[in-house]
Structure 1
Amino acid sequence: MTDDHTHVQEFFTARAADWDSRFPDDGPAYAAAAAGLGLRAGDRVLDAGCGTGRALPPLRAAVGPTGVLVGLDLTPAMLRAAVRAGRDREGTLLLADVGALPLRSGTFDAVFAAGLVAHLPHPVENLRELARVVRPGGTLALFHPIGRAALAARQGRRITPDDLRAEANLGPLLARSGWRMTSYVDEDARFLALAVREE
């Protein structure tokens, strides 16, 4: 395991047990994001960096009982928290790294990724790996329940020009990774960038 992975795992392991209780008001934002993805019954969705699985119930509602839902995370403690919350009933939980997905190419109709971009050690390669497992024309949703400015304020920092989630940075990053950004929303109540897997 690389130092990058160790750092990410340590960060989230230390926070897994009380993650949901620290952000109790985020549920509606997850539900709204999942509902707005244009998913259909029977679709196959990967929740990349699923954490405690907060997106799994609304994603399950969107794809229905015939849909396939996989929640993937690098941190065992986060997946254990997802199981304790009963979210493993919504889909399959998988311990894996987004840099080397143990999944077949073209398997999914969509990828949902909450708060993932800031933790990717190799953004172009990692986003390209997500593109690999999505069919051409499939969707990527990069989500956060609050916008960049609100998140920076919560963390006691300022937004910097090199922020990967800035629209001017994210569009080209996605383009280099096999995606075309189709919409971008960054407001206090949510961050949601949508992209389509290029043919």
Structure 2
Amino acid sequence: MADVDAAKSLSGLLNGIAQRVYHNNADMTEELLQRELYRELPREEFTALHERMKGLLKSIAAADMDPAQLEAFLTAQTRRQAGGGVTAEQAAALSRFWKSQRVRVRESLLAQSRWEPGLRGLSWRVDLQTAASRGAADHGGPVALVELELGTAGQDSEFVCLEFDETKVNQLLKKMSDIQQSVDRIAHRS
């Protein structure tokens, strides 16, 4: 019976950590988790357990471990002798938790990494002026019209229309090329 209670407490701790870290539930505090799940455990021991489980969950989530990676990671953790390792029971609880919560944690991490408002759509066209439409206002070339659809989750879209002449299009393309080169440099470093 003690093993079942220990497994339930650890499962509750992992869920509580996930609620706080990945689902932004500010009510799920370390103090609440100790009071509800590990009342008998001294504060220092609980803090060490909490930090170890939080660190392991962050490592697992950051790597978005598949079942094979998770098994290898947890096997390595159970073999560690010094304070950072886990017991077989803790490894089993971590495995059960990750198998049931991987999708939700991943979705939460993706949502936290998005900029808001986000780009929902983009359309563009190039307009050419005919001799009849030029009249007195001769712009002297094609005009690119770009419409951006911007929005925040759960809200209606906003539309922004941009107009570029040939010079502005070339400047925009140059900036995008610079950005691509910067991303490539960073990507090749890691």
User: Shorter-normalised TM-score: what interval?
Assistant: under 0.3
- Higher-RCO chain (CA-CA 8 Å, sequence separation at least 6): 1
Q: Which has the higher helix share?
A: 2
* Greater strand fraction, Structure 1 or Structure 2: 1
Instruction: Provide the TM-score with structure 1 as the length reference.
Output: 0.25
